[in-house]
Every structure is written in C-alpha cells, then in structure tokens.
Structure 1
Amino acid sequence: MTSDVIKTTPIDSTHTRDNTADQRYIICMKWGDKYGPEYVNRLYNMVSRHLTLDFQMVCLTDDSTGIDPDIVCYPIPEMDLPAGPERGWKKLTTFKPELYDLKGVALFLDIDIVIVDNIDAFFTYQAKHEDSVVIIRDWKKPWRMIGNSSVYRFNIGMNTYPDLLANFERNFETIRTQVRHEQAYLSNYLREHHHLEYWDKTWCVSFKYQCIAPIPFNFVRAPALPDEAKIVIFHGEINPPDAIAGSGGKWYRHVKPSPWLKQYWQ
C-alpha cells in the first residue's frame, strides 16, 4: 500500500516540542522494498534510548504501512529529474526551502545504522557557521573532503540553503556526469556556497572499514566496536542482520558473527 497522504499522529510529549525554529527533528527516509518498516521502527527505538533531548521523528516515505504511529510520516517530495538510476538523489529533498512546515534543526539518519551510545552531541555540537552542514568525513578517501550522508545535521525549512536543491535539478544532466551519488554533490555544493563541517572521527564508525578486521585477519577475528563510537554505519553489501549473523560481503571480506550488535539493534 502506497501512502499518498500525510500521516499525522499524536506524538509522545516527552519527545516533541512546539513547531518552532528551535525544534529538534530526527529525519529518515524509506523508499522501495529494500528495507521494511521494522528498520524505521528500530531506528526510532534506538534514538529514544540514546537521545536525552526532546525530539520529533519524521520519516519521508513512499509507504508508511507498518511504521510506528509515534513517527510522523510524509510523502517523499517529488524531484524534477529525468528518468534514470536512483543514487540517493532523494535525500537532497530534505534541503527544500519549505518542507511540510518543519522548521528547526534536523539530524538525518540512514535507517540501516546502529546507535550504540548517547547521541546528544550530534545536536549540542557548536558549528562554526550558521549555515554549516555537519557530516561524516569519508573513511576510504578522506583527502577528497567528501561527506558520507548517513548522518548529517542541517537547518530544516528555514531557507538556509535556498538554491541547493534547485541548482541540482537545473543542472542535473551535467552534475550526474561529475558525481556518482548525492553526498558528493552535497559536499561540493556546500563547500562552494555555504559551509561543510565534519563530525568527530570517533563518533561515526564504518562497520566495513573500522569494525571488521583487515584481510586476512577477518577470517579469524570477529568484528569489534571501536572505543568512543556512537553510531555504526553500514554501507556496501552488509546490513545489521548480516553483521549479527556473520554473512554478506564478498568472499575475501568474510564477516564473522557480531552478536554484540543485537543489544543495540532493536
């Protein structure tokens, strides 16, 4: 069943505030059938356990079926793009100057992350500039200064980045020959027109690069959680259920079971 209308439901007052400029939002997106509603619900549960500040959770989705009623769901905004492969472009709609009258500070979280410690710092961190977007710095090639958009904080619905999405739509044919995914465009645009900052490198860790032991030790050593990590990011072929069971990935990236993830991913 596809949701074409906004689902507005009562939200636990301990997790919400008035719809003002100082409102805190947790934003996520779900589209297609790769991830079920349980991913959104688990994310909400993890945030509820690990964020002590008031917040409202919003999911932009093409199907709200099965999503916890305490999560407010809105349709994913349409993009003015020609047909072609989806490379995460939809995430850029979070930067619409007006987005369902949401106004405040938003923390975008991918629905396949695992939160392992308190995340208050993602809201309390003081950025150097009013228009900064704070994002993960790419682990594999940090010298490129490209952010990983699994976790990013931005001003939502306050016209802080008035042309970010419109510029992408106007110049899409050129942009898609220059970058492979939305996080590269986002990083390049913000560095040129606004400001891009990066989270403390210990806060967001890559399961692929920082939890799994390097080859060939991954065949004998189980993945481990790095000290001071707050969020574990899953990218590539491995998702949390694969990591817990010890499966997924190419043969040479053998993944031994990570039962320690189960206590967090629920």
Structure 2
Amino acid sequence: MAAPAAPQRHVICMKWGTKYGPEYVNRLYAMVRRHLCGDFNFVCLTDDTMDIRNEVQCLPIPPLKLPSGIPERGWNKLATFAADLYGLKGTALFLDVDVVVVGPLDDFFTQPGEFLIIHDYKRPWRITGNSSVYRFELGAHPDVLEYFRGHFEEIRHRFRNEQAYLSDMLHRQGKLAYWPQDWCPSFKYHCIPRWPTNYWKQPFVPQGARVVIFHGECNPPDALAGRRNRRFRHIEPATWVAEHWRE
C-alpha cells in the first residue's frame, strides 16, 4: 500500500503598495528555498506582480473592504485567514517580506501547536504576538477574518494593529502558542551590540537564530549599509545580511 501523501506546505508573504519592491519577494523565495528541505509552494499575495520570479505563485490580496483613509496597521494580513484562500490546502507559514532567513525552516512546520507566532519582544508579559512569522492550517480559523469584517470599528478602537487582535482572538480560544525564543530574534533588540560597543562592533546573528525580524528602524538594506533611521542610534554595517539576503 502506498504511503499517504505528505500534507502540502505553503510559505506565504504579502506585498502591497510601493514600500517594498519585487526584490524583497524574490530574495525571500531564494532564502526559503535554501533553508527548507523538500517541496513547498511559495505564495505572494500582492497588488503588483511585476518582476516577481516565476517560481512564486502570485495571487490578489483578498479585499477587506476597509474604510478609506485609515492607517493600514497590517490589517491586510488577516486576509490569510479566509475560509477558502484560492483553494489552497495544508499548512501555511507566513513570513513578512522583509525578514532575513539565516537558519533551517523545517521545524517551523513540525513545531507542536494549532497557531504559532513570535512572542512580543518588548513586553513579554503580554499575550500579544509579533506576526512577522506565524503558522496555521489554511481555512482553520475563518472566524478571525469574519469577525473582523463584521466588527471593524470595535476592533480598531480596542486593538492597535492586526497582531494584537489576532493574538487576543486565538488566545481566548486556547489556540495561541509561541515559537521557541531563539528562533526569531529582532534585529533591533537582539542583533545590535550594546552601547558604546555598537560604534565599533557590527551587528551579529544571535545563536540559534533562524529568521531575523526587521521592524521599526531599518530594513535589510539599511542594516547592510549601516543605516539606522533614528538619530543617535549608530550601527555598523551588518555585512552578514549580504550572505543571506540574496537570490
């Protein structure tokens, strides 16, 4: 008797607007390909497919029908929780388009838990997760999106952004779990040497890191060039970014 087929694995990212070019998607795909063994389907939900490499399955971002003129706050990510996301089935690992993959990704698909997310870096006593990296079964949490669509005004006043709402919703259902602490370090909090050594030591990859998260102050090209978008917060060039953030 033939062995049952392995569950399909998907890696999903999103790109909308003009902040990130196609090179972010292309480099993310290449990093995943180098660090994830076996077959997977790479999906980009986007409003612009131009110059994205052919290996990437580009699909439109499902509309959230938000009021015009409101801050985006990452709400678009909630579209990944559609009851039927273009017929995709299986396990999905969501990665922000500006992360840098530096280690193996296979365990992200096997780590126990219904829904896994990064635990908040700055306030670890809170339940809130950082949605730069999360894993879920496609179609398993349609209530996340359905409730959001039906109660947007309530949600936007209770929660600052999508990751706060998402964490609260799944925590109340007993489904929220977190990645091991060392897997997804923050570039801002964990990779920059302490003052004053940041003036002569370059940022480093923490031991055990697999996906480095860039949020707030700089993106991978900024880190590579030694740019930090805050005054009096010096960093040396993070030359290791070039080793990983490439096609």
What interval of TM-score do these two structures reach, taking the shorter chain for normalisation?
over 0.9
Distance in 2 (CA, whole Å) between partners of 1:21 and 1:161 is 22
Distance in 1 (CA, whole Å) between partners of 2:205 and 2:7 is 33
Contact 2:98 2:214 in 1 (8 A): yes
Corresponding residue number in structure 2 for 1:94: 80
Corresponding residue number in structure 2 for 1:147: 129
Q: Alpha-carbon deviation of 1:194?
A: 4.4
Q: Alpha-carbon deviation of 1:163?
A: 1.3
Aligned: 1:25 with 2:10: yes
For residue 128 of structure 2, what is the amino acid of its counterpart?
I
Contact 1:168 1:175 in 2 (8 A): yes
Contact 2:129 2:163 in 1 (8 A): yes
Q: Alpha-carbon deviation of 1:235?
A: 0.1
Aligned: 1:210 with 2:190: yes
Q: Matched residues, percent identical?
A: 55
1:38-77 equivalences under 5 Å are 38-77=23-62
For residue 104 of structure 1, what is the amino acid of its counterpart?
G
Distance in 1 (CA, whole Å) between partners of 2:196 and 2:123 is 22
For residue 117 of structure 1, what is the amino acid of its counterpart?
G
Corresponding residue number in structure 2 for 1:111: 97
Runs of 4+ in 1 over 4 A off after TM superposition: none
Q: 1:133-191: CA deviations, max 9, x gaps?
A: 1000011111111100000000113xx21311111111111111111110000000001
Contact 1:21 1:105 in 2 (8 A): no
Corresponding residue number in structure 2 for 1:82: 67
For residue 34 of structure 1, what is the amino acid of its counterpart?
K
Q: Alpha-carbon deviation of 1:81?
A: 2.2
Distance in 2 (CA, whole Å) between partners of 1:91 and 1:24 is 18
Q: Alpha-carbon deviation of 1:219?
A: 2.4
Distance in 2 (CA, whole Å) between partners of 1:109 and 1:169 is 23
Instruction: Name the SS for the 2:243 alignment partner.
Output: coil
Corresponding residue number in structure 2 for 1:201: 181
Match of 1:232 among 212, 216, 232: 212
Q: 1:63-116: CA deviations, max 9, x gaps?
A: 000000111110000013222111100000000111100010000001100001
Instruction: Name the SS for the 2:142 alignment partner.
Output: coil
Contact 1:41 1:68 in 2 (8 A): yes
Instruction: Name the SS for the 1:169 alignment partner.
Output: helix
Distance in 1 (CA, whole Å) between partners of 2:35 and 2:193 is 27
Structure 1 residue runs of 5 or longer lacking an equivalent are: 1-19
Distance in 2 (CA, whole Å) between partners of 1:234 and 1:263 is 16
Corresponding residue number in structure 2 for 1:189: 169
Distance in 2 (CA, whole Å) between partners of 1:214 and 1:139 is 17
Contact 1:249 1:255 in 2 (8 A): no
Contact 2:201 2:236 in 1 (8 A): yes
For residue 104 of structure 2, what is the amino acid of its counterpart?
N
Distance in 2 (CA, whole Å) between partners of 1:214 and 1:179 is 32
Match of 1:166 among 146, 149, 172: 146
Q: Alpha-carbon deviation of 1:222?
A: 1.6
Instruction: Name the SS for the 2:244 alignment partner.
Output: coil
Structure 2 residue runs of 5 or longer lacking an equivalent are: none
Relative to the length of structure 1, the TM-score reads 0.88
